Structure 1
Amino acid sequence: MAEEGTVWKCLRDFSEEVRELHGTDGVSSLEKPPSPLQFHREWLCPNRPCIIQNALNHWPALQKWTFYYLRKCVGSKPVSVAVTPNGYADAVYDNKFVMPEERTMNFSDFLDILEKRTTPPGVFYIQKQCSNLTEEFPELIGDVESHIPWMSEALGKRPDAVNFWLGESAAITSLHKDHYENLYCVISGEKHFILHPPSDRPFIPYETYQPATYKVNEDGTFEVKDQESTDKVPWISVDPLEPDLSLYPAYRETQPLHVTVKAGEMLYLPSLWFHHVRQSHGCIAVNYWYDMEYDIKYHYFQLLDSLTKRVGNS
């Protein structure tokens, strides 16, 4: 127990020192896109987020992507839509890791829901990743960039995926992290991020859960169907909007960053940063996922993760 107490103190001191010296106590805003070298030196290598202004001004999407335009371009084409009863897809519910019902529906019908022309049960969100912009919405690619040139030059590679996001205000992305360097670009509306640096890992609780999916019945009710043949899923159990500090007391050690990304702005979200996302109704966004380098920063995080598990705050 004494050894665990010493390790826990070291983890707390480490997180506090990173916050003080590494600049993870706020998110800077740049007036224009950086050069590849500047971005590499000041943001990518230090693993620090920033908001970039005036990076999307030349995109036709900023002026063109109204619901009318999207309906005209994509029309009644079938697309993938996530449907949940509560807006939480890929999140812990009733002590299970529950994924949305993945429904294929006509894009025009989806827009009818956003515009309240129809009101079926559930919360609807186009959130399928795996480069859904290029795979499901090729009609829109010409209105944005296929990659971000200065980012691609800084990393020496093109993005692994370019994703399109559109949904209801009730759709929420639960707290998680990704192994990607993420450029998140808001076309219309706003996205609201809660961010934690990787150094907050000791205070962010993971547990393992039975995987399941939502299923919508004919009467409009939802049920949760277990995926019996798959392994349990490690996921973050705390809700940063209403953290239960009696259940997760270590979370009070964190100082989450609250960031709003407005239309025309780009957020650089570094790899391994924990993030929780909300949005205004009908917010349209595109993000670029560049695979992270599995360098010494990744291995340091793995060490931090192992030490956290050792003291019992998995």
Structure 2
Amino acid sequence: MSPLRSMFSDKELSVAVTPNGYADAVLGNNFVMPEERKMAFSHFLDIIDKKVEANGVFYIQKQNSNLTEEFPELLGDVDADIGWATEAFGKRPDAVNFWMGEEQAISSLHKDPYENLYYVISGSKTFTLIPPTDRPFIPYKNYQPAEYHEDSATGKWEVVTKHGLDQVPWIPVDPLNPDVERFPQYADANVVTVTVNAGEMLYLPSLWFHHVMQSHGCIAVNYWYDMDYDMKYCYYELLNSLTQTLEEL
């Protein structure tokens, strides 16, 4: 990590912090987002390297094309797009995101409306994948938006409800420990686990459900290409609507 430390020094960056490593995930009746903090990159690296103690799990995961917005210095070493993908999809990526964090940082099961090219630079990422055709086996519920907040005086974490926002539909099942008594339909899901190591790239098609774990200090970049709203999307929406209707019966 020393080249990154020397390159960015005390540059201020956006870091997601949670008490348990689960950002953008279900907790009770809430969909809880991380506390966003600005901090010097050198301080973030000290936390990752365990040189300083910190209360929480820290993860650079801001999905706003933060590679180009916050890490433009890397564009000389990291491509701004994937040539063959840009040609195949007929467009440039909507966002290019930089990821780096602790082993405890986990992305809960979800899907994205993007064609996703995920490249691991250092360490490894483990993806739990479920095809969109398995939507009938994936439970969804609506949750109240909330956000983690650490009390600076006591160091205790609390969940702060974000009033005035629409409820968020999210998947409550944890593929690492699925509660099939509560969600029996999940037992029929076709689950595939893939580990992507340094120097490897995963093509994750749009609408595929995925849950992500990582090795400690893993560094990765992903390219989001906007999906085409074609027959694949229409089929998924039909399947989704039929599933929701059956769930309401």
TM-score normalised by the chain length of structure 1 = 0.78
Deviations 1:235-263 (A, max 9, x none): 00100000001100000001200000000
Residue in 1 that maps onto 2:139: 205
Deviations 1:69-118 (A, max 9, x none): 00111111110000000000000012210000001111000000000001
Gaps of 5+ in 1: 1-66
What CA distance in whole angstroms lies between the structure 1 residues aligned with 2:75 and 2:158? 36
Residue in 2 that maps onto 1:105: 39
Identical aligned residues as a percent:
65
Structure with greater proportional strand content: 2
Q: Indicate the structure (1 or 2) with the bigger Cα radius of gyration.
A: 1
What CA distance in whole angstroms lies between the structure 2 residues aligned with 1:83 and 1:199? 33
8 Å CA contact 2:131, 2:190 repeated in 1: no
8 Å CA contact 2:148, 2:157 repeated in 1: yes
Q: Which residue, 235, 240, 243 being the options, matches 1:305?
A: 240
Residue in 1 that maps onto 2:218: 283
Residue in 1 that maps onto 2:191: 256
Structure 1 segment 142-161 matched on structure 2, within 5 A: 142-161=76-95
Residue in 1 that maps onto 2:9: 75
Residue in 1 that maps onto 2:118: 184
8 Å CA contact 1:205, 1:313 repeated in 2: no
Q: Which residue, 176, 182, 190 being the options, matches 1:241?
A: 176
Deviations 1:199-232 (A, max 9, x none): 1100000000000000011121110000011011
Residue in 1 that maps onto 2:99: 165
The aligned amino acid for 1:306 is: S
Residue in 1 that maps onto 2:58: 124
The aligned amino acid for 1:305 is: N
Residue in 2 that maps onto 1:45: none
8 Å CA contact 1:202, 1:313 repeated in 2: no
What CA distance in whole angstroms lies between the structure 1 residues aligned with 2:30 and 2:190? 27
Deviations 1:152-207 (A, max 9, x none): 01111100000000000000000000000000000010000000000110000000
8 Å CA contact 1:177, 1:275 repeated in 2: yes
SS of residue paired to 1:113: helix
What CA distance in whole angstroms lies between the structure 2 residues aligned with 1:106 and 1:160? 27
CA RMSD for the aligned pairs? 1.0
The aligned amino acid for 2:10 is: S
SS of residue paired to 2:179: coil
Structure with greater proportional helix content: 1
What CA distance in whole angstroms lies between the structure 2 residues aligned with 1:202 and 1:229? 30
8 Å CA contact 1:97, 1:210 repeated in 2: yes
The aligned amino acid for 1:187 is: I
Residue in 1 that maps onto 2:75: 141
The aligned amino acid for 1:266 is: M
Q: Which runs of 4+ in 1 moved over 6 A?
A: none
Residue in 1 that maps onto 2:207: 272
TM-score normalised by the chain length of structure 2 = 0.98
Q: Is the alpha carbon distance of 1:72 and 1:313 closer, same or farther for their aligned partners in structure 2, counting shifts above 3 Å?
A: farther
8 Å CA contact 1:177, 1:273 repeated in 2: yes
The aligned amino acid for 1:238 is: V
What CA distance in whole angstroms lies between the structure 2 residues aligned with 1:240 and 1:174? 9
Structure 1 segment 1-150 matched on structure 2, within 5 A: 67-150=1-84
Gaps of 5+ in 2: none
Shift of 1:119: 1.5
The aligned amino acid for 1:263 is: A
